[in-house]
Amino acid sequence: MELKIGMAIKKLRSSKNVTQEQLAGYLNVSFQAVSKWETGVTVPDVYLLPKIAIFFGVSIDDIFAVDDSEKLKRIMKDIDEPVTEESFAFARKTLEEILSNDEDNYEALNALAWTYYRYAEKHTKTSIFYAKQAIQVNSRYVGAYNAYNVLANALGAKVGYHWCSSGPLEMLSFCESYAHQHNDLEWLHRWLAELCIQLRDFERAKPFMATLHPAMQEIFQGDIFLACGKETEAKTLWAKAGVSDNLAACYAAGERFNGFGMIDEAIQAYEAAFSNATPPRDLSSTYSLAFLYTKIGKYAEAIAMWERILQVMAEDYDTTNGENIRWPQNEIEKLQGKLANKS
């Protein structure tokens, strides 16, 4: 393929009396790059192909006579290169054309998946940049921290296990000075305490923990115990926090007990969280209860949780229709069917 492309470029250039320097100038590359193409040492980046075709007034296929398999090889070869708008547009157009003629071409489908993956990764990084900019402009804006957290974790899922240390550490380093400026931003302090514990930097977690409700301090101290292999001590602290008057601590205890399969303890903590809620009431614990009851086959109890959600949505949020209402209604209908089959 490399030689085919190079020979085609050289032939077109010669027929139109174009120098290597002229072509290079149009493409914003060096004339040495053009020379390497023509000798088969390298090939043009995929995003340059449409520009070359436009320059010579021909189609890409007419120039290179490249079949689908060769196009796929070239696109997959460029997957790990930094994605640009041009390379994304070219790869997408080429792959969609291949699929329009062969919708079951699994190699093209795979290449298209990777193309969108790389494109999304690029824009996730851009999104993180703007979230951090928002924090710098208004360090009290919790929404920007939440966006940063969500986006950074999405990027972490893309780049794999290397993110396990570098990602949280980068977030912690960026955000901790703002947290120390605003001791009243409880959500931010909870998040950074969790990051510190994830990184096993327990001393660094303590200043963030100190600003929190005593029950939340017990939750995080329990997490530290667990990280140090002291499971019994961890569960003791979580149990104490799970019956406190702090909604966040009760919910956190419920999540931890649920993760350990300690059903009764989880239910007790989730219910305590809901009882601590004030209008407009937070429904996180009720959703968790609905899922938990469904998982263990207690369909009547799960129905009761979805009904509670409908009631709170109406009373506290004045919401009686829309997607947030249809979802509980659909879940109730499905659970009623399961309950009938169980009987």
Q: What pLDDT score does 62 carry?
A: 63
Is 60 exceeded by the pLDDT of residue 125?
A: yes
CATH number of the structural domain 1-66: 1.10.260.40
Q: What pLDDT score does 61 carry?
A: 65
Q: In 3D, which of 5, 11, 16, 109 has the Cα closest to residue 61?
A: 5
Q: What pLDDT score does 6 carry?
A: 81
Q: Which of 4-8, 118-122, 159-163 has the weakest average pLDDT?
A: 159-163
In angstroms, the CA 274 to CA 247 distance is 7
Predicted confidence band of residue 97 (pLDDT cuts 50, 70, 90): confident
264-311, pLDDT tens digit by residue? 999 999 999 999 999 999 999 999 999 999 999 999 999 999 999 999
Is 70 exceeded by the pLDDT of residue 166?
A: no
Predicted confidence band of residue 55 (pLDDT cuts 50, 70, 90): confident
In angstroms, the CA 270 to CA 248 distance is 10
Predicted confidence band of residue 161 (pLDDT cuts 50, 70, 90): very low
Is 90 exceeded by the pLDDT of residue 89?
A: no
> Among all chains, which residue has been given the structure tokens 């393929």?
1
Residues 6+ apart with CB under 8 A from 140: 182, 185
Is 90 exceeded by the pLDDT of residue 66?
A: no
Q: What is the rounded average pLDDT of the residues 53-58? A: 82
| Residue 21 backbone zone (phi > 0: left; psi -120 to 50: alpha; other: beta) | alpha
Is 60 exceeded by the pLDDT of residue 18?
A: yes
What ranges do the domains of the chain cover? Answer: 1-66
Predicted confidence band of residue 64 (pLDDT cuts 50, 70, 90): low
Is 50 exceeded by the pLDDT of residue 86?
A: yes
Is 80 exceeded by the pLDDT of residue 4?
A: no
Q: What pLDDT score does 163 carry?
A: 41
Query: What is the gyration radius of the CA atoms in the chain, in angstroms?
Result: 29
Predicted confidence band of residue 65 (pLDDT cuts 50, 70, 90): low
Q: What is the rounded average pLDDT of the residues 222-228? A: 97
In angstroms, the CA 126 to CA 108 distance is 27
Q: What is the rounded average pLDDT of the residues 54-73? A: 72
The C-alpha angle with vertex 62 and arms to 57 and 67, in degrees rounded to 5, equals 145
173-221, pLDDT tens digit by residue? 999 999 999 999 999 999 999 999 999 999 999 999 999 999 999 999 9
The better pLDDT of the pair 63, 75 is held by 75
Q: What pLDDT score does 113 carry?
A: 92
As separate numbers, helices (DSSP H) first and strands (DSSP E) second, the chain gives 19, 0
Predicted confidence band of residue 258 (pLDDT cuts 50, 70, 90): very high
Q: What pLDDT score does 68 carry?
A: 74
Are 197 and 226 in contact, with CB atoms under 8 Å apart?
no
Q: What is the rounded average pLDDT of the residues 24-33? A: 90
